[in-house]
Amino acid sequence: YGIGMFGQLSNQFFLRSCLFYLGKSAGQRSKINHACSGNILIVRYYYCHQRNSKIRRQNYTFRNIMIGNMTNNVFICAMKAVFKVILIYLAIQLPVTLIIGVIPFVRLLHFDYQESILPVLFSILVIDSLTLIYLWKAGYIGKERHTWSFVSVGWLAFAVLITFPAIFLSDCLLSHLTWLPDIMEQEFERIQSYWFGIILITLIGPVFEEILFRGAITKLLLKQYAPPKAIVISALLFGIIHGNPVQIIGAGLIGLLLAWTYYKTASLIPCIIIHVINNSTSVFLTKTYPEADYLKDIMPKSVYYILLALFLALLIGAYWGLKKQSSPVTWKQE
């Protein structure tokens, strides 16, 4: 039984020719059932009589070629679908940013960045809204009940409690990577100087990003790859899309937790809670301790290391405790 994905008629002809040759050389009666859907060709080959070792080896080799071909093509198709979503999101940004955030100031020859941040914030809101409309119309946003389920009290408590250890450990790692530039630091400070900017960072942004990255991208990856691979790829994309070197690490680490939580629950609600707490904590610390770069700057060293050990143990314990809990949906298509 072999499954292969082919994009050209020549490949399909080659497949049929190989099967015909195998059947004829063995003097067998064969039955070939094939179904074509797009570029997917499913072929079933049944032995009827002679089953000598030579033919079995030929069929085994042929089957492995077909399965290998299928795996490579599934990888390509899955990544195409993921990058299609990302490219559409980026494509929406350009015209909206030009129309709302740039052109009015070019026409007026007025470049006060502190004032221009408001149109930029509004353009972000429009970009998020248009992207969500596309994801909904294109069927990327799941309408299943479990997608918007609160799961259970235990998972909601987990989402609240596990976020703080994740923030702490991420901050600890970044404190040793001080050479990474933070090219968006001043922009974030300006955004947080407006109440609308704070709402955008702490509420609107997390909801939008979870629908885009977990509800669409991570879901696509989980349906085609083994969970560890899907989670890592999702986290890397989540970090890279932020476009800020220091955030590639920070957002990537939080992205691991978010993708793993989505994999285990198949729900966006716990992911949104984690994301909201993460961003809200960041805004709170920035506003409360404007001179501090890292958490170790706002507490005694002994307290810092005690919390580090405690949070690390808590994260490891939570992972092992929930590792064997099955997801409510079957992700990877076999």
Q: Point out the residues of the chain with pLDDT beneath 50.
A: 1-58, 60-68, 334
pLDDT at 323: 79
**3-52: per-residue pLDDT in tens?**
333 333 344 443 344 444 444 444 444 443 333 333 333 333 334 444 44
Residue 75: the pLDDT is 61
pLDDT at residue 36, rounded to an integer: 37
- pLDDT of 108 reads 52
How far CA 193 is from CA of 70, 190, 196, in Å, comes to: 52, 5, 9
What backbone torsions phi and psi does residue 226 show, to the nearest 5 degrees?
Answer: -65, 145
Q: What is the pLDDT of residues 247-291, one digit of tens each?
A: 999 999 999 999 999 999 999 999 999 999 999 999 999 999 999
pTM for the predicted model, two decimal places: 0.75
Contact 208, 131 (CB under 8 A): yes
* Model pLDDT, residue 104: 58
Q: How far is CA 133 from CA 68, 164, 199, in A?
A: 37, 32, 21
For residues 219 and 81, the answer to whether their CB atoms sit within 8 Å is no
Angle in degrees, CA 238, 217, 278, rounded to 5: 40
Q: How many CB atoms lie within 10 A of CB 184?
A: 15
Q: Residue 3: enclosing H or E segment and its boundaries?
A: strand 2-5
d(CA 263, CA 13) in angstroms, rounded, equals 39
